[in-house]
Structure 1
């Protein structure tokens, strides 16, 4: 079952990119490293590949996924302890910046 991220995670939605050039930026201000980021269209039943590849989104770092087609997506984040946070039905048609802090992360993984 999918877990829901607190609304506080979404800090800014700026309509600044044309369709097809949307960017998702995640700043990890939590004390946990993020090992996996999955992004799939909400209509998809599979997650697909880890978008971080072999990288880790360490605490204090920012990561970007660019050239996303305008659509509604589910986003799954997995930390160093295998805790999972799923943000469902995110409309990505604009540049989007999320700041992930300790409260947002704990609120998401607790659901």
Structure 2
């Protein structure tokens, strides 16, 4: 009977330890791997608590996250509003981004910030229209 009681206590203790070990503390610092699978070079990444009126610092200050590259930044697991800026200065604001998904990986794709593609298309259309003007005779 003592053996069964000891076994039950051990199982309960392990269960409590496992639950405590799996709890998430959003204030704990951690890291996030950001992978750029888009066609756009990203020169700024800012995050802020959801609904905040000001952005945090540039997480990649002095660096560029080119297409196909990845980097790791220090950030606590949580849900954030995010601001991405591409190489031509176009802003993309994202609301309520869960940066705890995919084992702390954030993959940026072309459909993450469709404004980048729209701005590129507008620039290319403007260039094409400018080069289509006939030369003065």
Contact 1:86 1:108 (C-alpha < 8 Å) held by counterparts: no
Q: Kindly tell me the number of residue pairs found equivalent between the two proteins.
A: 93
1 or 2 for the larger relative contact order (CA 8 Å, sep ≥6)? 1
Q: Alignment partner for residue 87 of structure 2, among 71, 80, 83? A: 80
Higher strand fraction: Structure 1 or Structure 2?
1
Change (3 A) 1:33 1:100: same
Unpaired runs of at least 5, structure 2: 1-21, 119-137
Rounded Cα–Cα distance in structure 2 between residues aligned with 1:53 and 1:17: 32
Larger radius of gyration: 2
Rounded Cα–Cα distance in structure 2 between residues aligned with 1:17 and 1:27: 26
Q: CA RMSD in A?
A: 2.6
| Deviation of the 1:65 alpha carbon | 1.9
TM-score scaled to structure 2, two decimals?
A: 0.55
Unpaired runs of at least 5, structure 1: 1-15
Higher helix fraction: Structure 1 or Structure 2?
2
